[in-house]
Each structure stands twice: as structure tokens, then as C-alpha cells.
Amino acid sequence: MSVGNTTNSSDSKIWDALNELALDLRWSWNHASDELWAKLNPELWELTRNPWLVLQSVSRAQLAMLLADTEYQGAVDHVLRTKLELETRPLWFQQCHPEASLSSIAYFSMEFMLSEALPIYSGGLGNVAGDQLKSASDLGVPVVGIGLLYQQGYFRQEIDSTGAQRELYPFNEPAQLPIQPVRKPDGELLRLFVEFPGRKVWIRPWRVKVGRASLYLLDTNDPANAPADRSITSELYGGGQELRLRQEILLGIGGWRLLRSLNLDPDVCHLNEGHAAFAALERARYWMVSHDQPFRNALAATRAGNLFTTHTPIEAGFDRYSVALMRQYFVGYAEQALGISCEELLNLGRVGASGAFNMAYLAIRSSAAVNGVSRRHGQVSRRLFQMLFPRWPEAEVPVGHVTNGVHMPTWDSREADGLWTCACGKGRWLGTLENLDTDLRLTSVERLWEMRTTGRHSLVEFARKHLARDWAARGGPPEEVAQAATVLDPNILTLGFARRFAKYKRPNLLLLDQERLIQILLNDQRPVQIVIAGKAHPKDADGHAMIKEWMEFVRRPEVRQRAVFLSNYDMLMAEQLVHGVDVWVNTPLRPWEASGTSGMKVLVNGGLNLSVLDGWWEEAYSPDIGWAISDEHLYGNGQDSDAADAGALYNTLEEEVIPQFYERDSDGIPQRWVARIRESMARLTPAFSSNRSVRQYTEEYYLRLGAAYRARSANGGAFVAGLLEWKAKTAGLWSHLRFGPLHTETRGGRYILEIPVYLSELHPSEVRVELYADAKGGHPVVQQEMTRGNALLGSTGAYLYLASVLANRPVTDYTPRIVPSKEGAFVPLESIEILWQR
């Protein structure tokens, strides 16, 4: 239906307003417009939660009736006015950083989880990207997302009669998605291209409005492309290595070209995982053309504004490409576009002349900052990348961390939203989150328990409907389908486990002793139920086998009322689960959970966590707010670690979790349980929200890197020339540097250390001489600059350096060292030299 179907200007205005609202994904977390869509088509709205689809499908009669309804018109007008007010008023960024000259941040990600109405995501990576984009909108941070529009997205899951997973790939019809094609100012469709061997591949860009933010999606399903190229954006994480390389070229190179075609020149480029690292090359290419300088100058200038976030906790998780495949796709780009040899380009992504091209290495060598996604993951990442920084201590490998957070307005239930609004106000997620913990703690026990009870009832109702549809679709007999209405009990302790079925996540740890689990579930006095969901990658045989094992378990007659597996885990199902479960169970093999976000989503709804101490939970855990499985020891693979953790899991359930849930007062309220809920909500919800993580990225990275990029680009890139000259000079002379003998003595409880340092032709300002000691024996790391004394007579470039430190540990712990130093340089990212006195 078009505006032409309406009867007057008032109708046309309301229709336009509905279109504007439906195309803004703010509705995915601001539910003020939910009733508008439900009135258009209640059944379709409940099934899809896609306002744009509902709007395109509404009957003329229904639309005419609603457009004539003054109450409906008033509701539409109110929602639209509220939306426009939010888009124009100053938010956190404008209020707290009014002088910031940050133009924009380009956020590149292979997937974005924003809504089930836009199914272009798989799991954790997309969850982080989508939630951060939403929080950027809430906070007024000028972020622009870049991703791919997948024709099929990630697969939908079906469980067959044998309990095996089947993968289905429904088509994402663009006309039914809340997206719009990008057009030029004159209305012509914008089309771009990237060069592949022997041909151009044409790109259609689409825009997704996400509140104040925009997400641009690239699509190769263009009639001008060959069939194989039209299918480049067919599946998320599908196909082989060559298809993945094509997608990453499209995302990085095509994505940056799109930004420039839109006259956007972001100060900061945020690479969400190494998939997008080619954007750094294309960004440098644009800079070298506009500044008429060679590629090495351009990369030095632009890397100052690049941030790389790694989500991978294992070496095998990084994308790698063979040298032959890279040469096939990049020899022309390197020589003609960048003006360098293909070998020079390859060296940006490998260690050694024969190694495979590693996208994470390219991202690191093209960025000014690198971060992991939890404190533990930062440590793991420093170990993974140490080979790129030889002789540097692992603790100084330049990888920080920003622990992930989730977008709480997306994941809270209607009841939780009402509780938080009453306690903390409507604008609680738009600022710095101060006093949220104090305000939330004033909520009554009765209100908290009512919210939890309502959430559990809603989850049971959802699960029953889902199972009835599922069993009927599989051809189950009517009496079996009817039994779906009796599974689960809204009044008993409900555990939840839902995530990707991968071996390291150990989704079947609970099944290690099935008889013990059955005893837990069927206890007469203190019964328990569990809801399971999750997909296995199509090529992951272990994941498929684990799903089948769960299906065999939940079909056992004695547990069918207490354990269910819900097929086709997606964002809508995730919302229902995190709204309703009492305890979220997480059982990864340490330290392979980079962060994890599923358990964060239950926080806002009063759910509690029972998890291995890994990822975010290692930072969040306290005995008064949740439970930890086993200790902090890092296991390798093996049955011993599984048995130990499974035993700890069963014991914790039997001895702590279950008794506390059923310990009730005279009003039927578990006081100690609700006390945990209150403290978990108050303390953890703000700390593990994407509001906090986006503010942290902004203040620790975006502002600093944006300023560094602008400084390097100023005056035609004058700083860069001096930087490269310094790098070349220090690298060329480093082998000539040496130490003389170290002299130490003790005076007044302090060590006095003196050492001659021979700097050859380097000026003292071009290096930093330090005294270093590792953390050991309870003592912290010491990294203290030594003081330059007099020049040594008879030697060129020789000086005496001195330091004084407390004599509270052995003097042999201390070692002098020399590192490169230049104001404005990122060391060791830009200069890895280091010399130790031995």
C-alpha cells in the first residue's frame, strides 16, 4: 500500500509517520509504538516483531479504519514527536564532551544483531555490535555502522524426528526488511564496486536507521554481477575460504568506499574483529590520494585513528588466507592502488616470509590501539600476540580490554522495565548510570518477586506454544501435541542454557551424569526444570552430536515435563528466555570464553548466574550475587576437567541454589534469594551494560585516537614524515646500542643503580632508558625511567644513566633496558625494538 491509498492529507501524514517509525529500529528497544503495530495486524506482529512487514501487509480496510481513529492518530503523533525530540536534544556525548571535534566513528562488523526483523546475525559478535550501536544512539556518540546484507543470513534450525539438527535458509527479501536503498542527492540509486580478478563486482548499499545512528549494509545481489558474485553476500559464515575472503574485501574495502561516497571521513575506524581489517588499507589509500603521499606515510597517518577489538581467545580462531589466494586477489590492488609490491602488503599480515596471511595481524599492524573484550581475554590476547613483539614482556604486549556489555533496554521485559522506571526513571540508560544501584536497592522484596514470578510464567507460556507448533510441524500425533500445554511449571525453579553448541562451551556438561540430573529435576519437595536452546554450526559434527544427546534426554518419558529443548534459537527466543529464567547456566572451558554476553542479559530481569569463572563472570562474581562453578584453575581439554566441573555444578545446585530458592517466609517469598536478585541487579546491571562499554570506548579510545589522527593529518601530514624518519633511524641503528657494566649500591634503604649507555648516533630524546622488574614474590611490575647523567668522555653518544628504587626486593630483579621513544608515537605498535642489559 502506498500513500495513494489514503483519502486525505491527514491520512497521508499519519501514513508517512508510520513509515518513518517502522523504518527506525528504535522500536526494537523503545516499545512505545508496539501497540500501534499490534493494532494493524496482531498475529503477524506477534510472530515477526517486524513493523515494516506489518505495515506493508496491512489490509486497506484495517488501515482505513485506524487512520480514521482519532485516538490512534494521536498515539502515532505522540510517538513520532517523542522520537524527533530524542534525535535532536543533546545527550551524554554532547553534554559531557561539548568541545570534542570527533566527526564520526565508523564501526565495521561482519554481523549486527539488532532485531529478528533483520536476521543478519549469528551470535555473540553480532550481539555486541548491535547493542553497542543502540547505546551509541542512546548516548549521542556519532557512530556509523558498516556491515553486509545477507540474502539468507545465518541458518534457521529445525530438529527432525530423530533429534538431529537440520539447517534451513529462508530468503531475506529486502522489501520486507526495515531497510532503505541508499540514493544519491538526485534520487539515483547509489552503486559502488570493488575489483576482483578480471572483473568488477557491483555493490548495492542499504541504510538501516538505528535511532540517531545509521547502519549501512552492502549487498552484491545486483543484476550486473555474475551469479557467483551475486551470492557473495548469500550466507553469514557460509562457504569456503575464498568466499570468506571475498566477503571481507567487500566489508573492508567496499565499506570504506561507501563512507567516502557519502562524504563521510570518520576520525576513528573501529574494527570489530579482524574480518574488517581491509578497511585500514582502503582508508590509507584514500589518504595517500588526497595528500599525494606514498602508502607508508598514509598508513602511518591513518593507523592513529584505527581501533582493533579482538573477540578470539584461541589462535585457530583468526581468519587466515594462503599466500596464493592473497596474491590472486591483491596483486593488482597492492601495485596499482597502493603503489607497493604484493609482498609488502602480505608482510602486513604474516610472521615470516612463508606464513599464511592473518587478518588479526593486519589489524594490529594497522591500528593504534588493540583491546580484548574482558580482563581475562586481554591477558589471553597478549599471550596470543606476543610473537609480534619479540623480547617485550607479555604484560606489555599492547592489548588492553573493554569488557563487553549488553543493551539493557533491548533485553528487559515489560515488567522489568516498569520496575526500573519506577526505581530509576525513564532516562536511566541515557547518562552515566550514577545512583542506579542506590535507587534500585530501594525496590521492595514483594515487587522484585512479583517481577520474577511474572517472567517465569511468561516463559512457560512461550515454551508451551513453541513446542506445540514444533511438535505439530514434525507430524506428531494430536495427543502428543496436546501434551505441550502441560510441560514445565511456572512455579518451580527454572534453569536456562542457550547459546551456540560448540565443544568448548560444553553445553552437555549437565548431562555428564544423567541420573543425578534426573534426581535433581524430579525432586518431590524441591523440583527443578531446565530450558535448553542453541544451534550448532552446520559443519560442526560435535555440536550436532551434543544437540542430539539433549534431544534424546528431553524425550525420556520421566523428564518430559521438566526439560525442554526449544528449536531455532533466535533473538526473539533469547528475549523470552532471559526474561523468564531464574538461573542462567554457563559452562565454558576456561579460558575460551572471551567475554560471553548471554548471562549479562538476565541481570536486568532479576535472573541470577551460575557459571564457570571465565570471561565477564570472572570480573562480576561475588558469593552474594551468584554462584561460581569450581575454581579459577585454567584447564586444558580432557575428561578430568569436565568431571570436576560437572561435579561442582551438581553440588552447587543441590547444596546452594535449590535450597535457597525454596526457602520461603510466611508470605511465600524466598527472602535470601530475592536479596541476591536485588544486589545482582543493582551492582551488575549498570556495570555490564553497553552504556558503560560505549562510554568507556569513547573516553579511553575514540576521543584519543580521533585527536591523534587529526594531528597526524594536519599540515599535509608533516608529523608523519618525522615519525617515519625516526622509525627508520632507530631501526637502522638499534644493533649498535649497548650497555656498559651495571653498578649498584645500597644507601638508606634504597638501591642506587648506575649504568653507562651507548646510544651510537641516536639522540637521547629518541629513546627511553628504563629500569624494569617483573611482578614476582608479591611485588608489582616496576617500569621506571632512568635519569640521564653526564656524557661519558671519550665516547660519542655515551651517557651515564641512574635510578633509585626501594630496596624491598632483590636487586637482581632489576634490569635496565632501552626502548624507542617519540612523542605521539605508539610504542611498541609502531616500533618493536627493545634492548635489555644482560
- Integer-rounded Cα radius of gyration of the chain: 29
Distance CA 173, CA 507 (A): 34
CATH number of the domain bearing residue 629 = 3.40.50.2000
**Predicted local confidence at residue 86, as pLDDT:** 86
Q: How many domains does the chain have?
A: 3
Structure letter (DSSP) for residue 188: P
Same structural domain, 667 and 788: no
Beta strands in 597-733 (DSSP E): 608-612, 627-629
Beta carbons of 565 and 532 less than 8 angstroms apart: yes
pLDDT digits (tens, 9 = 90+) for 240-293: 999 999 999 999 999 999 999 999 999 999 999 999 999 999 999 999 999 999
**Predicted local confidence at residue 634, as pLDDT:** 52
**Predicted local confidence at residue 639, as pLDDT:** 64
CB-based burial of residue 759 (10 Å sphere; 0-12 exposed, 13-18 middle, 19+ buried)?
buried
pLDDT digits (tens, 9 = 90+) for 514-572: 999 999 999 999 999 999 999 999 999 999 999 999 999 999 999 999 999 999 999 99
Domain boundary among 645, 661, 694: 694
Domain boundary among 29, 58, 88: 88
| Residue found under cell 543533546 | 90
CB-based burial of residue 744 (10 Å sphere; 0-12 exposed, 13-18 middle, 19+ buried)?
middle
> Is 83 inside any structural domain?
yes
Strand partners, 159: 165
> Is 393 inside any structural domain?
no
| Residue found under cell 609482498 | 343
Distance CA 280, CA 298 (A): 10
Q: Using alpha carbons only, give the angle 67, 71, 73 rounded to the nearest 5 degrees.
A: 40
Confidence of residue 179 (pLDDT cuts 50, 70, 90): very high
Helix (H) or strand (E) holding 173: none
Which stretch of 94-98, 159-163, 301-305, 802-806 has the lowest confidence by average pLDDT? Answer: 159-163
Domain extent for 829 = 719-836
Same structural domain, 652 and 727: no
CATH number of the domain bearing residue 780 = 2.60.40
Report the candidate in 345, 357, 360, 377 with the shortest Cα–Cα distance to residue 308. Answer: 360
Same structural domain, 675 and 734: no
Same structural domain, 646 and 512: yes
Same structural domain, 465 and 605: yes
Average pLDDT score over residue span 339-347:
97
Helix (H) or strand (E) holding 384: helix 375-384
Domain boundary among 88, 105, 128: 88
DSSP helix/strand/coil, 399: coil
Distance CA 276, CA 744 (A): 51
Same structural domain, 584 and 724: no
> Is 165 inside any structural domain?
no
Output the CA torsion 169→170→173→177 (10° steps).
Answer: -90
Distance CA 402, CA 377 (A): 10
Same structural domain, 487 and 616: yes
**Predicted local confidence at residue 631, as pLDDT:** 58
> Is 353 inside any structural domain?
no
Report the candidate in 180, 155, 177 with the shortest Cα–Cα distance to residue 168. Answer: 155
> Is 324 inside any structural domain?
no
pLDDT digits (tens, 9 = 90+) for 666-695: 999 999 999 999 999 999 999 999 999 999
> Is 823 inside any structural domain?
yes
pLDDT digits (tens, 9 = 90+) for 404-442: 999 999 999 999 999 999 999 999 999 999 999 999 999
Same structural domain, 727 and 643: no
> Is 766 inside any structural domain?
yes
Same structural domain, 499 and 625: yes
**Predicted local confidence at residue 477, as pLDDT:** 85
Same structural domain, 493 and 634: yes
Distance CA 377, CA 314 (A): 10
pLDDT digits (tens, 9 = 90+) for 82-121: 999 988 999 999 999 999 999 999 999 999 999 999 999 9
Distance CA 615, CA 619 (A): 8
Q: Using alpha carbons only, give the angle 223, 229, 231 rounded to the nearest 5 degrees.
A: 90
> Is 15 inside any structural domain?
yes
Same structural domain, 575 and 532: yes
Report the candidate in 378, 315, 380 with the shortest Cα–Cα distance to residue 351. Answer: 315
Confidence of residue 4 (pLDDT cuts 50, 70, 90): very low
pLDDT digits (tens, 9 = 90+) for 458-505: 999 999 999 999 888 888 888 888 888 999 999 999 999 999 999 999
Question: Is pLDDT of 2 > 50?
Answer: no
End-to-end CA distance of the chain: 79
**Predicted local confidence at residue 478, as pLDDT:** 86
Same structural domain, 774 and 673: no
